[in-house]
Structure 1
Amino acid sequence: MRRTGTTRRGALAATGALAAGAVLAGCGGDDDGTDGGTKGSAHGASPVRAEKALRTGATRTTATLLAGYEQVLRAHPATAAALTPLRDAVRAHLEALSPEKTPALGMARSRATTPAAAVRELAAAERSAADAYTALLLEAPGELARLLASVAAACAAHAYLLTELAKETPA
């Protein structure tokens, strides 16, 4: 039987993902506004409006991910010990991305009938979220880019942890 909990490999993978996020965050550019007017103007919008649009997209992704966690926790209560800390981290990401208001949770529909399949779906959702945040980095101004890089790194670490958890979860 495999050992549950945090393993050395899992801790190293999470650390590596966070380090990658920190490196990406350093590539966000300067906050002094001397970027030549390219950020935020790709779609003809003002920088403030462009940042708001990026935050809205990231918030929607995070709310949907959080709804997925909530759905799995309701459907498979046996996964609560492992999923609750990750769900709480996603909730913190949602608050960081949308500090002025808490958005409504997105709709999450799972086809999984077993806890292991549900955890695998969450891992896939975390990978998709990490990809979405990484794509937004290209247009985000400095501080938001750093936040998105951090959240993307956390999602990548969550995806790894969930993939390992799915292997240990009874079908």
Structure 2
Amino acid sequence: MRRTGTTRRGALTTTGALALGAVLTGCGGGDDAAGSGKPAHAAARAERALREKAVRDGGLLLARYDLVAEAHPATAAGLAPLRAAVGEHGKALAPPGAKGPADGAGKSPSAAPVPVPAGPEAAVRELAAAERRRADAYTEALLTAGPELARLLASVAAAAAAHAFLLTGLAEEAAA
């Protein structure tokens, strides 16, 4: 005898079809109705500003990594791969055609140096907190970014969250 009514398979199929429809609807073109190009120009300016801020913030984070590694040489080996990744994020986030060192290989941005805590554990924990703030900021920026930049910001936010996790573990090792 055949069952009547809603089955689990039918409900899942319907839910999947609705989700796919919502995704496809949200991925429509971003053309403005008037055809003036002004909204597209404003969006390009906003994206460039977002990229420039991300590169500046990444440069400041690179400087913090350098200060911690310099103040606590025992942590330098653990920090090196994470610092290198932050430099790569700076390259990826740099606006197209941007000039200057986006990889952190050059001079760090001139900002008031943040005092490094005396203990390696506290210094690494501060780096972890900075990475968490970076992940949160990039996640928030996803709301206003265009599709390409949003994918990049999501990747960098995930990497920053992973860095925070790894730095927390490194801080615990430094305490031991």
Decide which structure has the larger Cα Rg and report it. Answer: 2
Q: Structure 1's 161 and 35: CA in aligned 2 closer, same or farther, altered over 3 A?
A: farther
Rounded to whole Å, the distance in 2 between the matches of 1:51 and 1:67 is 24
Find the counterpart in structure 1 of residue 175 from structure 2: 170
> Could you say what the CA RMSD is over the residues aligned between the two structures, in angstroms?
2.7
- TM-score, normalisation: structure 1: 0.72
Q: Runs ≥4 in structure 1, deviation > 6 angstroms?
A: none
Relative contact order (alpha carbons < 8 A, sep ≥ 6): 1 or 2 greater? 1
Provide the TM-score with structure 2 as the length reference. 0.70
1:69 counterpart = 2:65: yes
Q: Which amino acid aligns with 2:154?
A: A
Cα distance in 2 for partners of 1:147, 1:136 equals 11
Q: Does 1:161 align with 2:166?
A: yes
Query: 5+ unaligned residues in a row in structure 1: which ranges?
Result: 1-25
Q: Is the 8 A contact 1:64 1:105 kept in 2?
A: yes
1:142 pairs with one of 135, 140, 147: 147
How far, CA to CA, are the matches of 2:168 and 2:33 in structure 1? 42
Shift of 1:34: 4.6
SS at 2:175's partner residue? Answer: coil
- Which 5+ residue runs of structure 2 have no aligned equivalent? 1-22
* Alignment partner, residue 86 of structure 1: 82
Displacement, 1:30? 3.6
> Shift of residue 36 of structure 1?
7.5
Distance 1:31 1:149 in 2: 20
Query: What is the aligned-residue identity percentage?
Result: 55
CA distance in 2, matches of 1:170, 1:163: 11
Question: Cα distance 1:33–1:94, how it changes in 2: closer, same or farther (>3 A)?
Answer: same
